[in-house]
Structure 1
Amino acid sequence: MSKPPRIAVLGCGQWGRNHVRTLAGLGALAAVSDRNRDRAAEFAETYQVRALDPEMLFADPAIDAIVIALPPHHQAESAGAAIAAGKHVLVEKPIALSVDDAERIVDAARKAGIVAMTGHILRYHPAFEALQAMVERGELGTLGYIHSHRVGLGRFHPENDALWDIAPHDLSLILALSGSEPISVHGEGTAVLEHLSDFAHLHLAFPGDLRAHVFTARLNPYRERRLTVVGSRAMAVYDDVAPWAQKLAVYEHDIFRDASGWRSETHEPRYVATAEHMPLTRELEHFIACIETGERPRTPIEDGLAVIRILEAGTVRHERSVE
């Protein structure tokens, strides 16, 4: 069996360290890099790999691919440098903070002919994969409405509001289910703490009659991670907070019209069994497979651009600041 590609992780912070651990478990971790040299050295010692400065990382011919897990304002520059060096890349979300920068990354990746993925991890969750398969088989009928709620008491970034920090998760899922980009986007945001939106709503219209709504909040007293899909035959809910056996529920309610108007008869949900696999492991296994085979990624870098287009169109600017 051939050896897996040699992959480095650039950014060993709160999320990057999960990439480091998972790639090490897959036998593909070759190096780590972080602007904090002490942090990089600590991970290098733990996993017995090299610690490289970012500039050395891009130039190192022994590195085949780089996972970029940096603060959002550093993502675009580092992704461009990695692609220019001929490295395959997996860029965490958001891949950039503007459509222009995201388009430059996509164009560079196409010209370089490398594998370029966006880190849309929930696309690799077994429960969402099962939901997407149901939609593609027509089990829910024609989709009419999708709404997502991703709320909680979250981290606060000096550059990122609730929309840019949280919404990419659900936008990637909605884009996968709809199969197209929206034809209109309307955003609403509310800033409570300072000048960045702590609450954000997005209203999306897609070709045909499909509509979608995204609600994100980082000042919410309870945690919710729920995506609801309403079809003409049935409804389904992917709830990432629920126990594994109940993460995907299908509601086959009867909705009909009689002489008195619209009525409904409810039924107990049917829970869809899915295998328990870690989405990050599945995502990185897919990245490795795409490098080895040349297969187009399930979440190509173009998906990251599509999300940035929505985020930019739906961003609300606030002038108010705390005194």
Structure 2
Amino acid sequence: MDYPRDTLTFEHLRRVKVENCKSLENLFPHWVAASLNRLEKIRVEFCAIKEIVACGDNTPHFTTGQALFPQLTSLVFHDMPQLESFCPDLPTLNWPFLKELRVTHCDKLNMFPLVATMNKWPEGDDHQDISNQETHSSFEKGIFTLERLSLVDKDIQMIQNGKFSEDIFGKPKALTLACFHDENAVFPPVSLLQRFRNLQSLEFFCSAFEELFPDEGLVDEGKCLVLEHLRELKLSKLHNIKHVWRKDCLLSKILRSIDKLEVRECPSLTTLFLAEISFQNLTELVVMDSSGLGKLSTPRLSHASLFRYEYGPYPWNWRKWESDGDLNVAIQRLSA
């Protein structure tokens, strides 16, 4: 009798996306995972998975040093409260092409050990007895191919404890700070964000903050170049945030420099801009599912144009609308 592993191969599979599988305990048997040498993207959300790759004890020719997914470029896990490990056997997870790493709402999965496994473990069967010193050495190597990264509250706390080098994550261009669910959570300091020298996009996701950069006054010129050169700012699922703009603060500089602003699912937000704000580069504004927003003041823009409006349940009764005209005029017409 033939077993599936003898008749099925998945060597050409490039993408895996799994959602809302409440009875699924693992994503791959080990014999399947070992065959996915061309897999590039894994995205798993809203599942009851406990481990991504099942234990390989019953897999013929299995070795603990066997590499999995050598072509992987994107790894996204979201809302999997039972997820505890990537693979209990801790095989080599050497992903030299990894560009995106985002793990949110997976409270049992520790982010930093996952990062450590991006580097090859020493060959042999005693890799599970690796010392804390060796683990720290793996952290120090970093992941220098990353372009998109998410960090949650507990990750930030570990970084601030000073246990890891500043360049552990390389130089990503897009950073998401997520899951600061406690209403007393401390907002990430600017000094932390300064580590990401190539940052172009910054997102705040699913957190209890009432305002952004609450303790940061107007920073002296030249002292916060990373944030002042952002091109994109995203605010998603910030249910307590009440306003974006605050006069004479760091955020005012950020807003003046960006060319794209997204606001999604911020129901307590009542005013997006003040009339005196002046944008130098803004070309795209996206607002969705923010039911409390009753006033969208028209900002002053240098050369912006509205090219897309996405329908949403807003109090303004805007219809789906497209225009190549000036954004100031477009917003006035939509609000009329």
Q: TM-score normalized by structure 1?
A: 0.30
Greater per-residue strand proportion: 1
Q: TM-score normalized by structure 2?
A: 0.29
Higher relative contact order (Cα pairs below 8 Å, separated by 6+ residues) = 1
